[in-house]
Amino acid sequence: MVEQVAVNHFVGGSSPSSGAFLIAHLQTFKLYISLIIVIMASCSTNSTPPDVKKIPKEIKTHDHVRTDNYYWMRLTDEQKSAKKYDSQTQDVINYIDDETEYLNKSLKHTKPLQKALYDEMVGRIKKDDQSVPYLENGYYYYVRYEDKKEYPIYCRKYKNLNNDEQIILDVNVLAEGYDYFAIGGMSISPDNKLLAYGVDTLSRRFYKVHFKNLISGENLEHTISNTTGGVAWANDNETVFYTLKNKVTLLGEKIYKHKLSTHSDQDQLVYHEKDETYYNGVYRSKSGQYIIIYNSSTLVSDYHILDANEPDGKFINFSPRGEKHEYDIQHYEDYFYIISNKNSPNNRLMRTKVNQTELSNWEEVIPHRDEVHLLGLEIFKNYLVLSERKDGLRAIRIKNMSSGDDSYIDFEEKTYSAYISTNEEYNTNILRYGYSSMLTPSSVYDYNMETKEKTLLKQTEVIGKGYDKDLYDAETVYATSRDGEKIPIYLVFRKDMRINEPQPLLLYSYGSYGSTSDPYFSSTRLSLLDRGFIYALTNVRGSQIFGRKSYEDGKLLKKKNTFYDFIDAGKYLVNERYTSSDQLFCSGGSAGGLLISAVINMKPDLWKGAISAVPFVDVVTTMLDPSIPLTSNEWDEWGDPREKEYYDYMLSYSPYDQIEDKTYPNILVTSGFFDSQVQYWEPLKYVAKLRDHWQGDNKLYIHMNMDAGHGGKSGRFRIYKEVALEYAFLLDLAGKKS
């Protein structure tokens, strides 16, 4: 077609009849063709951003009216799953397809880089790997992976690791034919003969529970649908308790009892939580003596307990539900040990006898401390093991209940991440814990609590080109917020690429729900470091980096402190010449995606680019609608906008509502069509509205994963396709082409 157009141009209106004319102009003709091909190629990779229709919807709250042009993008689960789409669904799908085409065409030139990144990331993963076995009820349990297989194989060996392996579940076999496949809530009966496990094939976190006879290898015929995945076994090996989810709110709200000899439609309701601000579930105590129902809101904990030897008995309330009282319980012999924040913002350790569980009977074991946040507890026959946070870092504290000896494990590095791992046995002096740092790959240790000797059992191996720890360095710096608070920033980089001039830097944070991100190792991150990036991790208010106060100062009517801290951390890194505003990038996911989308509204010129992953961005509209999954549980975190004070405050930072005509940084938004935590329409609407107000030449993209939910694709390798896309987006903006 191109050649014919060119020939017509040169000869169609010409009078010379000899071939000499064409020969004389052959060189010009070839140049012309080349020019047209270049122009067409250019047009194919620089497509115009997609547009989408507007259907204005007025939302009136507290005499204030907002107009949402893209509210129509909200679909029900039934619409998304229908075999034949209705017109509304088709319009949404068409828009997603247009955005996907625009993304692919615009970033087509990065495809070789994406492939190189993916190959690097996957190339560092040991393909035939295995976890460290742990002992439980006479069996050693472990997980192994085989080369070229996406999913784990769950195994066990009886009493001795030299005995024959029994495969209890090969997820690769189960996942055949599914685009998405996840196992949840595996649990084995007390007599070791039966396995219960949940299966999710849509990524909405609705699990169907299956039962497998581990002696015969056969699955039982009946299943239980719409659960949270896990079950709690009673000691009769016949009765299980499980949590049924509400199909609209996605909350686990009802606890049922199921007998393996009966069909699930005969299951008995044993508990129904009618307060939609609570998460609910059921589990078996580590001691095996109790079935425990938990009810947990942002501010309140509640428990109901049942003797596991009497599955047909009645659950009793552990202690009457109070106000603003969060606590955890663990059973040990004649006592329940309790981590409680009652009059103790950073928690204290208490205990009470098993037949006197009301709050008035609790006695203090370890008092509240202003400078130490008590996080968790593991109980052994002769030891109490406490997980604590002091000066922003986790510590593991060990108390000998016989001798009274009290000590901490020495982790040697200045900054690190350490946590209590799987410890299923009571009568042992060995503690299993996990460890990592910005420089040290994930490691598993056994610690002898008597001799205080530690043994490295496994450190994650970085294969391929390998990992030379000496090539990298890490440091911790502290920014100061605009109101004087300390903001820790953990940095890691290649020594030989660290220059005295600003260089590309990616700053990450989360900043909500009290979740704190400890400095940890990532082999994936090496693909950035090896190309000259600095990686920075910060904990802003909304986390619990310096105890409960850090959390309280970053929620509800103080939520903007989260955003201000992140901006101030970015400014610090620019002012200290680690980076510059034309080389500074930011990223976060879910509530961290809200953080990223808020800060680029507030300070767009600070950032070169941003990745907002599965972002919670339409804060006010979502929090006004309890029918949207999980909304009612969030009011204590963000506020209830049905109250005007909260409405006005949330509106002042809600990323979707605060979009304006301005020059935003380059942005990549990611989402999952079946996301159960942040519904897909929030990021989709967000991008559509941003396009209406976009100024300047920076780029805006959205990647919608049509086969996944909040956590991305299932499988251990496929997820890196998306990570490679994100890294290629950053590296391309930083001028790194390979």
711-734 confidence digits (pLDDT tens): 555 556 788 999 999 999 999 999
Between vectors from CA 422 to CA 201 and to CA 397, what angle results, nearest 5°? 135
When the pLDDT of each residue in the chain is averaged and rounded to a whole number, the result is 90
Please give the C-alpha separations between residue 590 and each of 222, 250, 624, 723, in angstroms, as whole numbers: 36, 17, 19, 16
- 646: which 2 tokens? 């909260």
Closest by CA to 559, choosing from 535, 575, 543, is 543
Q: What share of the chain is helix, strand, coil (3-state, %, to 5)?
A: 25, 30, 45
Q: Which of the four pLDDT bands, split at 50, 70 and 90, describes residue 323?
A: confident
User: What pLDDT, on a 0 to 100 scale, did the predictor assign at position 38?
Assistant: 37
Please give the C-alpha separations between residue 617 and each of 84, 325, 567, 587, 598, in angstroms, as whole numbers: 30, 30, 18, 14, 8
Q: Rounded to 10 degrees, what is the CA torsion of 704, 709, 712, 717?
A: -120
CB 241 within 8 A of CB 260: no
Closest by CA to 377, choosing from 366, 387, 390, is 387
CB 236 within 8 A of CB 259: no
* Residues 554-580: tens digit of each pLDDT: 999 999 999 999 999 999 999 999 999
Please list the residues that pair with 252 across neighbouring strands.
245
Active site residue 421: no
CA distance 190 to 600: 53
User: What pLDDT, on a 0 to 100 scale, did the predictor assign at position 708?
Assistant: 55
CA distance 4 to 7: 5
- 42: which 2 tokens? 């250019």
Active site residue 267: no
User: What pLDDT, on a 0 to 100 scale, did the predictor assign at position 719?
Assistant: 87
Please give the C-alpha separations between residue 123 and each of 66, 455, 467, 712, in angstroms, as whole numbers: 50, 28, 12, 20
* Residues 463-501: tens digit of each pLDDT: 988 899 999 999 999 999 999 999 999 999 999 999 889
CB atoms within 10 A of CB 165: 14
CA distance 670 to 407: 45
Per the model's pLDDT, the better-predicted residue between 650 and 47 turns out to be: 650
What does DSSP say about strands 393-400 and 383-390: parallel, antiparallel, or unpaired?
Answer: antiparallel
Q: Which of the four pLDDT bands, split at 50, 70 and 90, describes residue 634?
A: confident
Catalytic residue among 304, 373, 703, 710: 710
* Residues 336-394: tens digit of each pLDDT: 999 999 999 999 999 999 999 999 999 999 999 999 999 999 999 999 999 999 999 99
CA distance 379 to 426: 7
Residue 695 Cα to chain centre, angstroms: 32
CA distance 236 to 191: 9
- 102: which 2 tokens? 């625009």
CATH code matching the domain that covers 101-122+465-733, chosen among 3.40.50.2300, 3.90.1150.10, 3.40.50.1820, 3.40.47.10: 3.40.50.1820
- 374: which 2 tokens? 């008590």
Closest by CA to 82, choosing from 74, 91, 90, is 90
* Residues 378-403: tens digit of each pLDDT: 999 999 999 999 999 999 999 998 89
CA distance 420 to 457: 15
- 627: which 2 tokens? 């029918």
Per the model's pLDDT, the better-predicted residue between 240 and 206 turns out to be: 240
Active site residue 675: yes
CA distance 439 to 129: 21
CA distance 123 to 717: 10
Catalytic residue among 437, 590, 654, 671: 590
- 406: which 2 tokens? 């009290």
* Residues 513-554: tens digit of each pLDDT: 999 999 999 999 999 999 999 999 999 999 999 999 999 999
Catalytic residue among 518, 568, 675, 732: 675
Whole-prediction pTM: 0.87
